[in-house]
Amino acid sequence: MPERAAGPILRFVTSIPAHPVAQPRAFSPLATLTSLVARFWLPAWFALWTVADIRHRLGEFFASDTRIYARGALAFFEGRDPWTAAVGPFHFAGLPTTVQLFVPFALIPEDTAVVIGFAVALLAAVAIVRTLGLPWWWLLFPPLAHGVVVTNPHVLLTALLLTNRSWAEALAGLVKIYAVVPLGGRFRWRALALTAIGIGVSFALAPHLWFQYAASMAETTARLNEEAAGGFSAAIVPMLLVPMTLLVFLLWLRDRRAGSWLAVPALWPASQFFTQTFAMPLFARGPQAGAGGPVAPAWFAALLAIPSRGVVPMAIAVYVVTRLWGARQAAAEARRSGLPPPALDRGESGQ
């Protein structure tokens, strides 16, 4: 009886095929190495350039931008010229709205302001990476890490722009005026209106500050451009501005979101290394990023990570050309297949 019951069970067990995973496989060092490189080359590249960059920012120049902004606000608070405030050879160059927003830093010791500025920049960087759905190692993206170490408010305004809340976007425009470029490119009318109202309130509160800024604007702009060594955008070579503007405009027609975010890194005069964080939304994944176009390739991020003038306009130009060529090829393929052409990404608008 036991043998008769065991028969069907034995036949069932022996009929189960061996799972392919259970089969022994030969170890391939080359395949393993290739897999590791493919997985870790970009974070390793980020780490390499971040270490190379920030080792020059420690000591006196750690959190230098918070010191500059706090000293500018203190000068205003004491009735002096904010645009003479400096750390080493670098001077304050923000708008009067920026001076007024940093007045609270004039009321506390500078070392305390540095701690607060660094904490805000670090939290803003984490918020950017989380909002865009990027891996944690994007905190090592050299322009972002650079902005955190020097504690420039650009990191905070980038986080504010990514909230898609009009009041936060308007605040970003008051922190640094170039924030209105991605807002205008994406038709964020309410945020732009609130920014204009904020500038009006700023003028009403301190008209003399605006007159003082207007009187010294030419000198301040020239000094900023000299201290920035021309910046990282195409403005470093003025003859590149027209073709770069055309490329960004053509990209904007194809992908409003991408063109809007890349306009400042591509064109803004005296732009700094941290300005490349405006390209980070192009690498975003998931619904929280609001991504409409394709995710930008890794090679583009790798080029933007290099803290060298001239690399940024070259990288953006190559990226735009490849996007436009890819769109042309996709449209041609759609025509051959009798399908409708790929839809354009019109981005956000009206908020």
Q: What is the mean pLDDT of residues 319-344?
A: 77
Print burial letters for 173-197: b (CB count within 10 Å at least 16), e (below 16).
bbbbebbbbbbbbbbbeebbebbee
Q: At what angle do helices 142-150 and 154-161 cross, to 10 degrees?
A: 120
Percent of the chain with pLDDT over 90: 72
- Amino acid letter at 213? Y
Q: Identify the bridge partners of residue 255 per DSSP, sorted by sequence position.
A: 345
The residue with greater pLDDT, 61 or 314, is 314
**According to the model, what pLDDT value does residue 337 have?**
73
Position 253 scores a pLDDT of 95
65: Cβ–Cβ under 8 A, 6 or more apart, which residues?
117, 150, 151, 152, 153
Report which of residues 76 and 329 the model is more confident about.
76
Say which range, 49-63, 251-265, 275-289, 325-339, has the weakest mean pLDDT: 325-339
In order of 158, 179, 195, the CA distances from 161 in angstroms are 5, 8, 12
pLDDT of 18 over the 50 cut: no
Global pTM value: 0.85
- Determine the Cα–Cα distance for residues 230 and 281; give it in Å rounded to an integer: 25
